[in-house]
């Protein structure tokens, strides 16, 4: 990420007295800092969604209340289920199901969001998430049903295969960019379609196709290749979530503490200066796209080995694309990606519940997500709408990408 | 990082940077194609098998069926292609590289089509006419890109403008029963999205590629939502009517060219007009000179009193109109009904076409035709039952786009200020 | 035309770039605006040309107050500007650039290119500014690009011409002919506002001189009423030493040897043409030449940033022709790039990080791939002291520093390795006088420690002050190597391609 404005100079020291605690908090929540802008962006996203519901259903705002109530109940908790659990002492797993579903939906978004964020911080835009998710899932499936091993070897192999599949899918655009100058935005998008069609071919071909099936469905990963559930009682949240948390920590360490991450950031910010200091910009491009692809591949692995266990046409859905919005929402920081993924995971889990219980289509959440990211990408607009004060040191213009020439 | 060191000397060939190694690579590729043409296609076919090319397509004059010996034709074409490849491999001359390469690829395609037509009647005319139909939305998309990027704004939202144009085109066309209104509605929806992109990028300096991608996400979500929520409950809003074809009197009767160029629908003709108008406008008029100045060096434009942001707003919105009309061509211009995600990434392919065409309308046209040909060939092969799994045929246009971007285009030179925010102070 | 600025003030946040500036330019006058880098000259000109708006004050043209919302307004009032960084579209022809914004058209908005060519030919012959109207600007040498820029202003009937540091890209002879053109324009009654920091030029051409310092007008004088020393101390605010003190060089064995070095750029143009050059330990070889004659490419080739197509580069006798930048740095080359912001620094990273850009992966700054941030920070704080970098701490982003302090960061980094050869490319461009003195002193100190120095500069004063030998480049080739005592005029002719003096 680079900025066109140099960071603003530090504020002048206050003249008369130190402001009190309450006053400081009041200041913080009325200025256009990262947290305030993000929260207001979410509010605006929900507002646009509400308008859509009213316009398309002709219902009053009561309909919005029901839909958003379901969104909440499906993602955080449902008051009735919690009440039931408290009064009877039973049904605790039902009370925690919404949170569990949010974590399940967030898991692939964390992996994929990290992948995209790593790319952005090196000035590379990976829109190939869809293809890399599929590549990771295909490889994980092969290793999943293809070998018969004890779980402590089998599961790590499945995980590694997922990363490897995504890495290959990321390596291709990286190599092409470094060697021929082909822009990664075009190549990664094209690869999305290539992998989609590759998957649809493999699904009707041995050995991936489920024997005895004419449908496009793969064989199923056995128990030894699955990510274990974290809790008993049917909650679907699984080891993939813990792996994702580990990935957050790992990427943080890589970007902030390792020499490789330092090179990535230098190349991302000023490749010419990096080159003059002896860094290999082309190698960095190849490495970062490979790493980015590996992380996105893990997203495909995590859904496959965590909840789905078999492949079908168009596997991975919107996770690859949503990874971009998650990375933007998290401002390319691993911690931010985690929070962004949890938010979008909640929208996803809640959105499914909403569709099932109120009939409002799930796709509404995609609109809400897009609106949120619109505003996160233009903090100055949010600042104007809500008449916020400028935050000291906050960058007004966010640039993540470079033009075609980069 | 684009200042790559080139060990081998390079030269500008037909406006592109071509190194000797790239010329050799292209030559090697031609030799490979030649081998395919001569051995499996040519020698692999029994002697005496005839290919049949059908030249009887109304409204053109009937020329009957042309027969060719498959084996002899394929081997002969393979030999010529190999010679062209060898000339490139020698690598002495770089001038004319692309001409020779294009000729080689065309010869290979001739051989391939001859082989395909060995037991069937292949209508060459229909293949080309289908190519035009497939290429039309890409022409709109890449012209939209040209309009925006020549003024210095990256419009990666074309895919979203396609979707919105396709959706509104179908809905308004169906609701009013007036297809023209569908076309206009498509254009308007593109304009609104163009204005949104311009507003966020120019007023707030937001990252243009990011805003573009988010617009695509927004349009995808919104059209999916509305399809489910509105269209599925109101079939009358997605009735599927389409523009008919117009035969241009006289010209439509020319063999091959008539059905291909003069027997199409309004979207095709409009695209042709836009292509010429934008080309002439960009390179021959005051408007074009100023647009290009703004895209190359906005400060220089500003210092002679040109209003940079005004030019950018205008062009991005006009570009949106063009992409929106292109979107409408997906529904009212071809299959009528809207379905979720029907644009299948062609908005991005259009961008690749624009890059391949070096930000020039007719350059983009050549890439659009190439892609359109791949798509129509794929559907022909599927119908003819050629023994290639259909997913691979479907994949081919996208693989070709990658190959084109990586292998043929190389490093290109975009407008100097493409994607760079401009602030007057 | 008579131009008056009264009390013009322009602020950027807490910084006052122009503080109540008063300035009057009479009709038919060449008025010099003198000041060092950062004195506020460029900001003032941007305000005058409508590119920025003043916070206070008034501009009057022929006695009438005017307000310029954009450059179009300024042009309409007869003001033309030749920018220091040319405002030309590189891919356009000279003719298209000249007419841009004021295009002659036929009906329907079609460009009348024939009329554009004629206009240019007419202006060219009228003012002695020959340019091929159909040449693409990026293919023209900078001297000709400047002509296009001047023609552009004249094409709009400018009565007041602002020339912003126009001589930076010219040979002494070209400078002379520019002055002749300026005097010719003055004869026609036009006014010229000539912005510069070069004292000799001011004295040669000005009718009146206004000196700026730290955003304020220090005073107005005439060439007759002042000498170089007076002007210099007005400009800097203290007595300035106009010469660099250094002892005679004690050259040792050759450190850098170039043998027939040839570089072809990506467009197939030979940018370095069979260069033979030797730089010995303990000497400064100054590479003179008009910008764009291959000096930049030569420096980049030495560092391995571009690959030569033929010839050899030897460092201490070892062949490093094919070395990568990393290997070249390790071999003992230090490199001060000509554009510190574009190639030298990562502006949004901290000073400490920028100081270890080249050694970030070596002990003590990293161990087995993990960075040691404490070591980086401590080293950074230490370097702040050692190299007199003015900053609150080593943790602040380098982009917040002044130009002089940014350059000190680059110098500090490059001189912190064991150095055999120092390649300094335009090391004082855009710096204030204090920083210039500092950089010059450092370079001489390195020489005295036995380092071989290759100094690339387009400032002839700097070349003559620092160089122990002067190599002159023209169109990618070394025209000759002469002692710095060779006259300015002689070296100026060599910069235009003339051979070595007999």
pLDDT, residue A52, reads 92
Please give, rounded to a whole number of angstroms, the shortest distance from the CA of B263 to a CA of chain C: 31
Closest residue on chain B to A200 (Cα): B391
**Domains observed in chain C:** 3-236 (3.40.50.300), 241-332+418-502 (3.40.50.300), 345-417 (no CATH)
Nearest to B6 among C81, C111, C266 (CB): C266
- Whether A16 has a pLDDT exceeding 60, the answer reads no
Is the pLDDT confidence value at A228 over 80? yes
Cα–Cα distance for residue pair B424/C13, rounded to 1 Å:
17
Query: Could you tell me which chains touch chain A, where touching means 3 or more CB pairs under 8 A?
Result: B, C
Q: What is the mean predicted confidence (pLDDT) over A190-199? A: 94
Q: Which of A115, A98, A77 is nearest to A244 (CA)?
A: A115
Look at B329-343, B408-422, C105-119, C375-389 and tell me which has the smallest mean pLDDT: B408-422
If pLDDT is split at 50, 70 and 90, which confidence band does A403 have?
low
Residues of each domain in chain B carrying CATH 1.10.3470.10: 125-405
pLDDT, tens digit (0-9, with 9 covering 90-100), for B165-182: 999 999 999 999 999 999
Instruction: Report the distance separating Cα C108 and Cα A112, nearest Å.
Output: 53
- Residue A54 vs residue C244, higher pLDDT: A54
* Spatial contact of A210 and A326, defined as CB atoms under 8 Å apart: no
The minimum CA-CA distance between A175 and chain B, rounded to whole Å, is 10
pLDDT at C327: 95
Per-residue confidence (pLDDT) for residue B26, from 0 to 100 = 85
Residue-level pLDDT at B283: 95
Contact with chain C for residue A266, Cβ under 8 A? yes
Predicted pLDDT of residue C385: 93
Q: Which of B11, B302, B425 sits opposite C71 (nearest CB)?
A: B302
Q: Which of residues 264-293 of C touch B (CB under 8 A)?
A: 264, 266-268
Handedness of CA B180, B184, B189, B193 (dihedral sign): positive
Q: Which of residues 281-300 of B touch C (CB under 8 A)?
A: 284-287, 289-290, 292-293, 296-297, 299-300
Nearest CB to A9; choose among C305, C358, C400? C400
Beta carbons of C90 and B296 less than 8 Å apart: yes
Q: What is the pLDDT of residues C259-298, one digit of tens each?
A: 999 998 876 788 999 999 999 999 999 999 988 889 999 9
Say if residue A405's pLDDT is above 80: no
What's this model's pTM, rounded to 2 decimal places? 0.88
pLDDT tens readout for residues C476-494: 999 999 999 988 889 989 9
CATH of domain B125-405: 1.10.3470.10
pLDDT at position C443: 95
β-pairing, C452-456 vs C421-425, is: parallel
Question: Smallest Cβ distance to C343: which of A260, A276, A280?
Answer: A276
What's the pLDDT at A396?
53
User: Sheet containing C270-280: which strands, arranged edge to edge?
Assistant: C270-280, C254-264, C310-315, C318-319
Beta bridge partners of A31: A389
Nearest Cα of chain C lies from the Cα of A158 at a distance, in angstroms, of 27
- How buried is residue A126: exposed, middle or buried, by Cβ count under 10 Å (0-12/13-18/19+)? buried
Asked if A347 and A75 touch (Cβ cutoff 8 Å), the reply is yes
The share of chain C scoring above pLDDT 90, in percent, equals 65
Please state the rounded mean pLDDT for residues A177-201.
90
Tell me: the pLDDT tens digits for C122-163? 998 888 888 999 999 988 888 889 999 999 999 988 999 999
Structure confidence at residue C459 (pLDDT): 86
Query: Hey, are the CB atoms on A259 and C347 less than 8 Å from each other?
Result: no
* Distance between first and last Cα of chain B: 28
A293: nearest Cα among A76, A123, A115: A115
Show Cβ contacts of residue C181 under 8 Å, excluding neighbours closer than 6 positions.
C127, C128, C129, C150
Res B98: pLDDT: 80
Which residue among B10, B289, B425 places its CB closest to the CB of C268?
B10
Listed in sequence order, the residues at least 6 apart from A217 whose beta carbon sits closer than 8 Å to its beta carbon are A203, A209, A210, A310, A311, A312
Contact A54/B at CB under 8 A: no
> pLDDT at residue C211 above 70?
yes
Position A391 pLDDT exceeds 80: no
Interface residues on C facing A, Cβ-Cβ cutoff 8 A: 13-14, 303, 305, 324-326, 328-330, 335, 337, 342-349, 353, 357-358, 360-361, 366, 369-371, 373, 397, 399-400
CATH number of A33-82+97-386: 1.10.3470
Secondary structure string (H, E, C) spanning chain B: CCCCCCCCCEEEECCEEEEHHHHHHHHHHHHHHHHHHHHHHHHCCCCCCEEEEECCCCCCCCCCEEEEEHHHHHHHHHHHHHHHHHHHHHCCCCCCHHHHHHHHHHHHHHHHHHHHCCCCEECHHHHHHHHHHHHHHHHHHHHHHHHHHHCCCCCCCHHHHHHHHHHHHHHHHHHHCCHHHHHHHHHHHHHHHHHHHHHHHHHCCCCHHHHHHHHHHHHHHHHHHHHHHHHCCCHHHHCCCCCCCEECCCHHHCCCHHHHHCEECHHHHHHHHHHHHHHHHHHHEHHHHHHHHHHHCHHHHHHCCCCHHHHHHHHHHHHHHHHHHHHHHHHHHHHCCCCCCCCCCHHHHHHHHHHHCCCCHHHHHHHHHHHHHHHHHHHHHHHHCCCCCHHHHHHHHHHHHHHHHHHHHCCCCCCCCCCCCCCCC
Helix (H, G, I), strand (E, B) or coil at C28: coil
CB < 8 Å from B in window 15-44 of A: none
Is A402's CB within 8 Å of B220's CB? Answer: no
Residue A163 has pLDDT above 50, yes or no: yes
B17 touching C (Cβ < 8 Å): yes
- Does residue A4 have a pLDDT over 60? no
Cβ-defined contacts of B388-396 (< 8 Å, 24+): B389/A201, B389/A205, B391/A197, B391/A198, B391/A200, B391/A201, B392/A197, B392/A201, B394/A197, B395/A193, B395/A194, B395/A197, B395/A198
Q: Please state the rounded mean pLDDT for residues A38-49.
A: 93
Q: Say what the pLDDT of residue A370 is.
A: 93
Residue contact A2–C326, C-beta within 8 A: no
Give the pLDDT of residue C501.
58
pLDDT of residue B94: 67
Q: Show the CA angle centred on residue A165, arms to residues A160 and A166, nearest 5°.
A: 100
Q: List chain B residues with CB under 8 Å of C92.
A: 289, 292-293, 296
Nearest to B140 by CA among B413, B353, B403, B345: B353
CA B220/CA B209 separation, integer angstroms: 17
Residue-wise pLDDT tens digits, C411-452: 999 999 999 999 999 999 888 888 898 999 999 999 999 999
Does residue A166 surpass a pLDDT of 90?
yes
Q: Which of A302-306, B95-99, C219-223 shows the lowest mean pLDDT across its residues? A: B95-99
Average pLDDT by stretches of 10, chain B with 425 residues: 33 52 84 92 87 81 85 93 91 75 90 84 87 95 97 94 97 93 97 96 87 92 93 87 89 86 93 97 96 95 93 98 97 90 90 87 91 87 78 86 76 79 74
Nearest Cβ partner of A257 from C337, C358, C371? C371
pLDDT of residue A302: 97
Q: What pLDDT is recorded for position B135?
A: 95
Among A235-239, A394-398, B363-367, C96-100, the range scoring the smallest mean pLDDT is A394-398
Q: Which pLDDT score is estimated for B46?
A: 86
Which residue matches tokens 């760079």? Answer: B420
Cβ-Cβ contacts under 8 Å between A and C: the total is 82
């Amino acid at each position: 990420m680079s900025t066109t404005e140099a960071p603003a100079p530090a504020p002048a020291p206050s003249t008369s007295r130190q402001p009190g605690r309450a006053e400081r908090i009041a200041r913080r929540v009325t200025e256009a800092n990262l947290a305030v802008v993000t929260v207001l962006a979410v509010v605006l996203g929900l507002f646009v969604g509400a308008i859509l519901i009213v316009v398309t259903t002709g219902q009053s705002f009561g309909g919005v209340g029901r839909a958003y109530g379901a969104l909440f109940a499906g993602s955080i908790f449902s008051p009735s289920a919690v009440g039931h659990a408290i009064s009877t002492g039973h049904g605790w797993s039902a009370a925690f199901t919404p949170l569990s579903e949010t974590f399940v939906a967030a898991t692939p978004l964390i992996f994929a969001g990290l992948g995209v964020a790593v790319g952005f911080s090196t000035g590379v835009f990976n829109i190939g998430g869809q293809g890399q998710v599929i590549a990771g899932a295909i490889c994980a499936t092969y290793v999943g049903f293809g070998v018969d091993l004890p779980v402590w070897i089998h599961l790590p192999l499945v995980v590694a295969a997922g990363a490897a599949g995504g890495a290959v899918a990321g390596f291709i655009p990286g190599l092409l960019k470094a060697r021929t100058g082909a822009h990664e935005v075009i190549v990664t998008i094209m690869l999305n379609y290539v992998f989609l069609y590759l998957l649809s071919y493999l699904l009707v071909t041995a050995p991936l196709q489920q024997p005895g099936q004419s449908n496009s469905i793969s064989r199923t990963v056995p128990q030894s290749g699955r990510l274990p559930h974290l809790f008993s009682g049917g909650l679907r949240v699984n080891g993939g979530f813990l792996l994702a948390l580990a990935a957050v920590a790992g990427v943080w360490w890589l970007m902030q503490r390792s020499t490789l991450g330092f090179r990535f950031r230098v190349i991302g910010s000023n490749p010419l200066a990096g080159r003059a200091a002896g860094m290999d910009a082309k190698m960095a491009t190849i490495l970062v796209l490979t790493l980015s692809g590996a992380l996105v591949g893990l997203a495909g692995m995590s859904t496959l080995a965590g909840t789905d266990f078999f492949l079908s046409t168009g596997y991975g859905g919107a996770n690859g694309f949503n990874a971009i919005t998650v990375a933007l929402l998290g401002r390319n920081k691993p911690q931010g990606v985690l929070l962004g993924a949890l938010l979008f995971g909640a929208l996803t889990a809640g959105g499914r519940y909403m569709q099932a219980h109120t009939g409002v289509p799930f796709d509404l959440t995609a609109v809400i997500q897009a609106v949120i990211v619109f505003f996160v990408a233009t903090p100055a607009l949010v600042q104007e709408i809500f008449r916020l004060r400028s935050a000291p040191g906050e960058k007004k213009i966010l640039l993540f990408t470079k033009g075609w020439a980069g | 990082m684009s200042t790559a060191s080139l060990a081998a000397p390079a030269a500008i060939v037909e406006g592109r940077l071509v190194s000797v190694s790239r010329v050799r690579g292209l030559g090697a590729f031609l030799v490979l194609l030649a081998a395919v043409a001569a051995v499996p296609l040519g020698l692999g076919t029994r002697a005496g098998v005839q290919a049949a090319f059908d030249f009887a397509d109304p409204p053109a004059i009937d020329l009957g069926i042309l027969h060719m010996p498959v084996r002899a034709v394929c081997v002969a074409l393979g030999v010529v292609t190999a010679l062209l490849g060898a000339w490139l491999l020698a690598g002495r001359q770089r001038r004319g590289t692309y001409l020779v390469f294009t000729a080689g690829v065309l010869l290979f395609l001739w051989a391939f089509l001859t082989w395909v037509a060995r037991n069937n009647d292949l209508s060459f005319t229909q293949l080309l006419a289908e190519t035009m139909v497939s290429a039309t939305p890409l022409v709109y998309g890449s012209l939209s890109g040209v309009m925006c990027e020549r003024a210095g704004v990256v419009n990666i939202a074309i895919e979203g403008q396609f979707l919105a144009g396709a959706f509104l085109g179908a809905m308004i066309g169906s609701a009013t029963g007036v297809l023209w209104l569908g076309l206009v509605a498509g254009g308007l929806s593109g304009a609104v999205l163009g204005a949104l992109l311009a507003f966020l990028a120019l007023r707030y300096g937001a990252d243009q590629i990011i805003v573009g991608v988010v617009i695509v996400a927004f349009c995808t979500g919104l059209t999916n939502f509305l399809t489910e929520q509105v269209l599925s409950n109101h079939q009358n809003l997605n009735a599927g009517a389409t523009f008919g074809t117009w035969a241009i009197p006289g010209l439509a009767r020319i063999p091959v060219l008539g059905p291909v160029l003069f027997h199409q629908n309004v979207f095709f003709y409009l695209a042709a007009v836009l292509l010429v108008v934008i080309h002439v406008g960009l390179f021959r008029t005051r408007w074009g000179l100023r647009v290009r100045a703004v895209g190359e060096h906005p400060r220089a434009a500003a210092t002679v009193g040109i209003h940079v942001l005004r030019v950018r707003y205008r062009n991005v919105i006009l570009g949106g109109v063009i992409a929106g009309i292109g979107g409408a061509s997906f529904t009212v211009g071809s299959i009528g009904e809207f379905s979720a995600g029907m644009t299948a990434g062609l908005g991005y392919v259009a961008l690749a076409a624009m890059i391949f065409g070096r930000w020039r309308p007719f350059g983009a046209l050549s890439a659009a035709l190439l892609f359109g040909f791949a798509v129509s060939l794929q559907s022909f092969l599927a119908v003819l039952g050629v023994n290639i799994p259909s997913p691979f045929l479907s994949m081919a246009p996208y693989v070709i786009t990658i190959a084109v971007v990586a292998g043929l285009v190389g490093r290109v030179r975009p407008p100097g200020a493409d994607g760079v925010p401009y602030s007057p102070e | 035309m008579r131009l008056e600025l009264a009390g013009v003030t322009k602020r950027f946040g807490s910084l006052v770039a122009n503080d109540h500036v008063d300035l009057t330019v009479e009709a038919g006058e060449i008025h010099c605006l003198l000041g060092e880098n950062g004195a506020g000259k460029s900001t003032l000109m941007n305000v005058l040309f409508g590119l920025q708006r003043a916070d206070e004050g008034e501009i009057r043209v022929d006695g009438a107050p005017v307000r310029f919302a954009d450059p179009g307004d300024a042009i309409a009032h007869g003001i033309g500007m030749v920018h220091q960084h040319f405002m030309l579209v590189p891919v356009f022809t000279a003719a298209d650039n000249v007419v841009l914004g004021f295009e002659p058209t036929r009906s329907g908005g079609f460009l009348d290119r024939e009329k554009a060519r004629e206009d240019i030919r007419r202006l060219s012959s009228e003012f002695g500014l020959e340019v091929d109207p159909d040449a693409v600007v990026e293919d023209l040498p900078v001297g000709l690009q400047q002509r296009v820029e001047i023609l552009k202003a004249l094409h709009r009937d400018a009565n007041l011409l602002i020339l912003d540091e126009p001589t930076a890209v010219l040979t002494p002879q070209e400078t002379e002919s520019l002055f002749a053109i300026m005097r010719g324009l003055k004869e026609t009654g036009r006014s010229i506002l000539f912005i510069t920091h070069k004292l000799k030029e001011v004295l040669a051409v000005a009718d009146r001189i206004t000196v700026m310092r730290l955003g304020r007008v220090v005073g107005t004088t005439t060439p007759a009423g002042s000498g170089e020393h007076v002007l210099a101390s007005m400009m800097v605010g203290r007595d300035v030493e106009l010469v660099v003190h250094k002892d005679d060089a004690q050259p040792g064995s050759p450190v850098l040897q170039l043998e027939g070095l040839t570089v072809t750029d990506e467009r197939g143009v030979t940018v370095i043409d069979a260069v033979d050059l030797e730089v010995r330990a303990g000497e400064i070889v100054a590479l003179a030449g008009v910008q764009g004659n291959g000096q930049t490419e030569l420096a980049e080739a030495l560092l391995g940033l571009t690959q030569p197509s033929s010839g050899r580069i030897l460092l201490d006798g070892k062949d490093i022709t094919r070395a990568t930048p990393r290997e070249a740095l390790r071999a003992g080359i230090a490199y001060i790039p000509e554009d510190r912001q574009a190639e030298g620094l990562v502006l949004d990273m901290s000073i400490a990080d920028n100081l270890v850009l080249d050694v970030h992966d070596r002990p003590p700054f990293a161990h087995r791939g993990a960075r040691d941030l404490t070591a980086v920070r401590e080293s950074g704080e230490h370097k702040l002291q050692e190299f007199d970098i003015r900053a609150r701490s080593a943790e602040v982003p380098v982009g917040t520093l002044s130009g002089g302090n940014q350059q000190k960061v680059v110098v500090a980094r490059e001189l912190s390795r064991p150095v055999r050869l120092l390649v300094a490319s335009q090391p004082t461009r855009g710096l204030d006088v204090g920083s210039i003195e500092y950089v010059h002193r450092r370079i001489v100190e390195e020489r005295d420690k036995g380092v071989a120095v290759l100094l690339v500069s387009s400032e002839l004063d700097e070349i003559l002050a620092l160089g122990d030998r002067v190599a002159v480049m023209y169109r990618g080739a070394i025209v000759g190597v002469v002692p710095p005592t060779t006259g300015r005029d002689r070296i100026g002719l060599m910069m235009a391609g003339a051979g070595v003096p007999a």
